[in-house]
Amino acid sequence: MADITRRLGWRHLRGAPTAHIRHHRGGKLLHDGPGLSFWYRALTAALSEVPVDDRELAMTFHARTSDFQDVAVQATVTYRISDPALAATRLDFSVDPDTGAWRGTPLEQLGTLLTETAQQHALDVLSRTPLSVALVDGVTAVRERIATGLAGEPRLPATGIEVVAVRVVALRPEPEVERALRTPAREQIQQEADRATYERRAVAVERERAIAENELASQIELARREEQLVEQRGTNTRREAEEGAAADAVRAEAEAARTVRLAEAEATRSVRLARAEAEGAREVGEARAQAQAAWLRVHAEVDVATLHALTGTRLAENLPRIDSVTVSPDVLTGLLARLGTREQV
């Protein structure tokens, strides 16, 4: 919308660079072009403002496929007014000289024209296409058909309209049909998910089995090594026992040899001692015999009285000490009798 200001009965219009302004007064064109700025009188001026920038027109309409299924088409058409002077003569782009607002609805009329034209071509292509094909390739086919149809529409160039681009955003069936179509895909996806789950579980089971086999192999290897260790320990024990037995045998032999040597030495010493004792006993016997012989010779040469005296002396030496002697009459009688007998003899 143009920017209009008032000054003492005059109006000043300042247009935008994207708006084409046309100023007529008395049927004559005084100003024509985008981004104009000029003074005018409201009572005598006829103004029109035509936008020349690119415009986006979003449209949504329903169509029916060849198998009688309803689909919703969402599309966007980009257009521009390439001939503002021609468009101003075909559509009402006049503005109020006091406010700058459009007196009519030219853009709505233009949007209706584009929408109906695009819808006509989209319905034409979808009516000969089944739903399954339309959902797969319908977006491209509808876009190309709309673009071709708008380019060949004679009313648009006659109105000064140029179509820049056509985009089909979506092509969707009714919600019930869409849910029905989604069901096989969802089931397939679910089957894929289940298969992936089963495969993952199978892989997990296989890994667990491999782990169990590895653990079992490890246990078998440990048992084998433990058996080897026990066998080696037994071998070491036997070797230690054999070496100990050999050492004990060596010690026993050494001890026996030492014992034999000691026994031989003891026997030799005993023999020597026995010989010495025998020799000493023999010498003592000989000495005793000599002494006895000498004693006998001495006593043989001595008289009887001397022998009796020596006998009494020796007897007295060997008798115990007698502090007191009690002689009973009987003993005295016997002694006297013996003495008398001896005298008589």
Tokens matching residue 91: 């559509």
By the 8 A CB rule, do 142 and 166 touch? no
Tokens matching residue 256: 């026996």
Q: What percent of the chain has pLDDT over 70?
A: 86
CA distance 167 to 73: 11
Can you give the pLDDT at residue 178?
A: 79
Q: Say how many C-beta atoms besides its own lie within 10 A of residue 107's C-beta.
A: 15
CA angle 267, 268, 269 (to 5 degrees): 90
Average pLDDT, the chain: 83
pLDDT reading at 66 higher than 80: yes
Give the confidence band of 49 by pLDDT, cuts at 50, 70, 90. Answer: very high
Report the pLDDT averaged over residues 91-118.
90
Can you give the pLDDT at residue 224?
A: 87
CA angle 145, 150, 153 (to 5 degrees): 120
Can you give the pLDDT at residue 194?
A: 86
CA distance 71 to 136: 13
Give the confidence band of 163 by pLDDT, cuts at 50, 70, 90. Answer: very high
Q: At what angle do helices 106-126 and 131-151 cross, to 10 degrees?
A: 130
Helix (H, G, I), strand (E, B) or coil at 55: strand
By the 8 A CB rule, do 98 and 11 touch? yes
* Cα 98 off chain centre by: 78
Listed residue (177, 174, 180) closest to 71, CA to CA: 174
- The type of residue at 86 is L
Give the confidence band of 22 by pLDDT, cuts at 50, 70, 90. Answer: very high
